[in-house]
Amino acid sequence: MALTALALFAVFTAVVLPAQAEAGAFYTSRYPPPDTMIWYRPADLYAAAEAWEQAGRDAYVQARVTFDVIWPLVYGSFLLVALCWTLGRFTQPGSRRRRVALLPVVVVALDYAENICTALVMARFPARTPVLAELAPLFTVAKWVTLSACFVLRGIGLVLAFVTMLRGRRIN
């Protein structure tokens, strides 16, 4: 399972992500997509919508309902399996510490919430979508912080798993 998740993640990162970036280059060259930033304001979301024009907004929404439905599942599965495998190396079965491995589920939920908000703002433009435009940056920053925490925990977990392997015992 871990190898499958790793292979899928690697293929997406090497093949699909560059193709997706290239497909969006025609509209993102005018204004960067706010949801790739750690923080942005609702005004930035509307500025992007205006700069991208109708064709760019349509492409953005299309990417959110196609690519961005699958990509969070790919990286979320990889992180979930990676954290479970890592935590399983140095914790006892049934340990509450293993619950940390569920953090990627939170990341995927935040990513979907962000995508729904930003896609609806783009789809409704030039009409304003105040609640969603204000929620989108919050979901984005929460997604990036949680995603970063997953990778930090993965790194810490690998170190602990290595130390545990050297010592030959598990932590409760």
In a domain? residue 89:
yes
The owner of tokens 């760019």 is 56
In a domain? residue 124:
yes
- Residue 56: Cβ-neighbour burial (10 angstroms; 0-12, 13-18, 19+): buried
In a domain? residue 132:
yes
Q: Give how many domains the chain has, as a whole number.
A: 1
Report the alpha-carbon distance of residue 75 to residue 87 in Å, rounded: 18
CB 7 within 8 A of CB 81: no
In a domain? residue 16:
no
In a domain? residue 27:
no
Candidates 103, 100, 72; CA nearest to 9 is 72
In a domain? residue 110:
yes
What are the CA-CA distances from residue 150 to residues 34, 37, 55, 101 (Å)? 22, 18, 35, 8
- pLDDT values of the chain reduced to their tens digit, one per residue, 172 residues: 778 888 999 999 999 888 888 888 878 888 888 888 899 999 999 999 999 999 999 999 999 999 999 999 999 999 999 888 887 766 677 777 778 889 999 999 999 999 999 999 999 999 999 999 999 999 999 999 999 999 999 888 888 878 877 887 655 5
Q: Please give the model's pTM, rounded to 2 decimal places.
A: 0.87
What are the CA-CA distances from residue 73 to residues 55, 85, 119, 133, 143 (Å)? 27, 18, 18, 24, 14
* Token pair in block for residue 165: 């392997």
CB 81 within 8 A of CB 1: yes
CB 49 within 8 A of CB 61: no
> How is 62-122 classified by DSSP, letter by letter?
HHHHTHHHHHHHHHHHHHHHHHHHHHHHHB-TT-GGGGGGGHHHHHHHHHHHHHHHHHHHH
In a domain? residue 6:
no
Domain limits for position 130: 40-163
